[in-house]
Chains A and B, each alone.
Chain A
Amino acid sequence: MPTDSPTLPLLAAFSRELYHCSDCSYCVDAVWAARGIDRVCPTLAHHDSRPAYSGRGYLAAARAWLEGRALDEDVLAERVFTCTGCGNCETVCPIGLHPHAVNAALRGELLARERAPEPIARLLDSIAAEDNPFGRPRQARPAWSSNLALDLATPGALYYPGCAAAYARPVEARAAVTVMQAAGVRVGGFADEPCCGAPARELGDHVAAAASAAALATMMDLHAGTKIVHSGLECRRQLQGLPAQTFGEWCLQALDTGRLRATPRGTPPLVAIFDGCQARDTPAAAASRAVLAKLGVSIANPDVANHGVCCGAGGGMPAMQPAGALRMARAKLAEHAAAPTIVGADVRCLAHLDAARRPGDPALATLAEFLVAHFDFGART
């Protein structure tokens, strides 16, 4: 059994881990009420039950590939790129293995062999050509900020919407800037805002992801020391090392310091919180909840499960299996139907859920959208 492989360098980095898996199968499917776990893998729950789509399936395929056993790379690519990347398989692993990271390595190896399935290749082409995964022209990116008075010359804080808010949900970007400006912040932005690289990283194109992150960092250097507030949660990892915080984190800080004052216009509706996989167990999710609690908003599900199953927005699922992604979204909407409004921490998830909404479903809002809809603001005087 190999411990090194020059032809599969990304997988070889996991060679010891692959042989330590004890096959407990928690990463395939598990129900563990005491830990809030009710199913683990969204792909198995809502798309296809074969274990090749699970964490254990990825470990098994990686072992076989490293051992030089025959496998159909196109079949492997279909299984691997369909994964939502929710990471439940890692959080549930009792011995700390990393099946999600193994999946990412498998994606990288498959891309190196030009085995990306056609829907994934289209996404990567869009990222390469237009710097976003939505197939929209690069020139359309700043449209979210039209008629907003951004201070590009001497900003007090830089707002970075990320691809999802810029293209798929500009109302979030505009709401975030509105709240920040109401707190007296001179909000700036980027004339030619680049993608942070998160979409490429998620699809296994680590080279493109690193290049995008470097380009963004260079641009940020022009405003060295200026605080960055961002909406896209998937951008979080790419912005590590920079003075960046999510809109929720900024908002909580602004309320705590009294910089932002918010007065409800009537009684805000009961809300159900939906963190999304990217926000799970992060300060960003905690901040959103804290903001709502501080403002007296009633929350239907204050104890959000750590192992919620993905809404279908993540990874390759929407491109590879749109019907499966839709089923996941419908399940997520049903799961949160106890409240008339769902407040989501992740813009991309909200955009995905919105596309799946039917009459009678709860309304959807990001934190910024919810605040703008139900509160009046004032700055510290």
Chain B
Amino acid sequence: MSTDVSDWLAAELPGVTVLTTSVDLFPYERDASVVPRGIPEAAVQVRSPEEVAALLARANAHRTPVYVRGGGTMYAGGAVPRAGGLVIDVSTLDRLLEVDVARGVVVVEPGMKFGALLAALEPYGLTVGVVPVTAPAATVGGAASAHALGTGSPRNQSFADEVVGLEAVLADGRVIRTGTAAVAGAGWFQRYAMGPDLTGLFLGGDATLGVITKVALWLHPLPERRTTVCFGFPDAVRGAHFVLALQNAALTRHVWYGAGYEALTIRARLPAAGADALPRFCLGLDLGGEHALVDHDLEKLHTLARQHGGRDFPEFDAAYFRTLREQQSWWYSFAGYFARSRCALMMSSLPTDRLPALLATVDRQRGRWPHFTWGGAVVLCRRGLHGAVIAFYDEATQWEAVQPAVAACGRELVEIGCVPYKSGKLWAAEVERCGAYHGALRDLKARLDPQGILSPGNLGL
């Protein structure tokens, strides 16, 4: 059969609008990651799940690689094509399908932006459990496919934990629904029902095992009160002990967002303060819930912080943390860096007690790769942390040079006990090192996508 993508698309799916000119394809060749650019042969902005199924069935027959793109805001390269192939752009599949207040579930198409979803839910007094920091442009399907985190992580852990079920199209065009909706007519109301949970095949799967076409999410009431507080600690060790204590006391229950910052970030935001007077580690918390419960937890948090050598740090709250919260723009807490460069961001999962080791790793990168500006921060989860190590680089002059630095940093993070998160292509080498686990992934891939058309390269598959 023909291998020319635009030819078979035109011949076999004449109703589909196909983008084939280089001008139309340039926007698909990269995302927010440091992963090498790759231009596809064609792209289709899909309008229905049926169109996705038809495209996959034909791509499978032609052995055409398929890459799936939502908002393109991830920094692991999952949406970046290798040279050639077809991009399925699901950003146009963006309808709100159902708000089932009685069951507490909202169902959306994968291209719906979090900003639009939050705006649609607000009149109901509702929201969703985890919202990525790129909410205005990030899509729900992308968050499910690439393990989003962010606002809601301290209460609810990962985005995947908030998914009730999915509809996904397999490589051969078959459509499956997971959770209770696997039974025709039952709809989504629980994730775990018959047998093992197949939802997990697609969550964090970076579109390697199927393409998500519907997502059902749990609904949560909007908190009646929101407030922020920051605590400063003399060092990261005491900061980590405090975080462990608050997690073990379940004081994350009213924390919608929590972020830990290292000394350099603190100093950068409070340049007028004497360096000696500033803490070496700071934890910012954004609390939300009923007034009395938030007040109660705030008091306990202050007590706990004091017990771990911390102090209230309102200066950082005013200069930085609260401002970001009110602007709903966490991602751009590093906007000053972005103004002069792009970033290579490695996100990992880590046990809370490894926090000092993570920040020490950031310091080591500064010494080893001084040509790049390095930053580090952690995001609080209900258990454990997500840790970001970021290298800011000038794409015009440093793109090649930053590649080995990123690879070496990734290796070091795994060695200190971090686990790749948002794997995409960025962490593929480290995922491949997990022998038995990666072998099982390969077996699943071989069974569900025998031609290997779905997102080749992601997760090392």
Contacts and interface: CB of A to CB of B under 8 A. Distances in A.
B113 A52 contact: no
B315 interface: no
A23 B77 CA distance: 12
Contacts of A72: 21-23
Interface in B28-45: 28-32, 45
Interface in B378-405: 394-397, 399
Contact of A32 (B22, B31, B328, B338): B328
A50 B355 CA distance: 43
Interface stretch (B155-163, B219-227, B340-348): B340-348
B137 interface: yes
A94 B324 CA distance: 12
Contact of B113 (A29, A56, A61): A29
A60 B26 contact: yes
Contacts of A30: 113, 115, 136-137
A147 interface: no
B191 to A, nearest CB: 27
A24 B30 contact: no
Contact of B24 (A22, A26, A52, A95): A52
Given A1-B396, A95-B335, A20 B115 contact: no
B329 interface: yes
Contacts of A61: 23, 26
A15 B397 CA distance: 11
B71 A31 contact: no
A8 to B, nearest CB: 15
Interface in A253-274: none
A37 B45 CA distance: 23
A75 B116 CA distance: 31
Interface string B12-31: 00000001011110111111
Interface string B122-134: 1000000000001
A97 B92 CA distance: 25
B304 interface: no
Interface in A296-353: none
B22 A69 contact: yes
Contacts of B113: 29-31
A34 interface: yes
B27 A56 contact: yes
Given A1-B397, A94-B332, A64 B26 contact: yes
Nearest to A37: B136
Nearest to B122: A33
Given A25-B137, A34-B328, A60 B396 contact: no
B115 A33 contact: yes
B153 interface: no
Interface string A1-20: 11100000000000110111
Contacts of A57: 23, 26-27
B91 interface: yes
A79 interface: yes
Interface residues of A, number: 44
Contacts of B19: 50, 52
Given A31-B136, A75-B24, A96-B339, A22 B32 contact: yes
Given A1-B395, A1-B399, A95-B339, A71 B23 contact: yes
Contacts of A79: 23-24
Given A23-B72, A24-B73, A38-B119, A50 B24 contact: yes
Contacts of A218: none
A16 B22 CA distance: 22
Given A20-B339, A94-B332, A75 B21 contact: yes
B115 A31 contact: yes
Given A20-B341, A24-B331, A60 B29 contact: yes
Contact of A19 (B23, B327, B335, B395): B395
Nearest to A32: B136
Given A24-B32, A33-B115, A64-B22, A19 B396 contact: yes
Interface string A278-295: 000000000000000000
B400 to A, nearest CB: 10
Interface in B79-111: 91-92
A57 B342 CA distance: 17
A26 B27 contact: no
Contact of A94 (B23, B91, B329): B329
A138 to B, nearest CB: 37
Contacts of B91: 29, 49
A31 B116 contact: yes
A28 interface: yes
B338 A95 contact: yes
A18 to B, nearest CB: 8
Contacts of A32: 115, 135-136, 328
10 contacts: A1-B395, A2-B396, A22-B343, A23-B342, A24-B137, A49-B45, A52-B24, A54-B27, A57-B23, A57-B26
Interface of B: 19, 21-24, 26-32, 45, 71-73, 91-92, 113, 115-116, 118-119, 122, 134-137, 327-329, 331-332, 335, 338-343, 394-397, 399
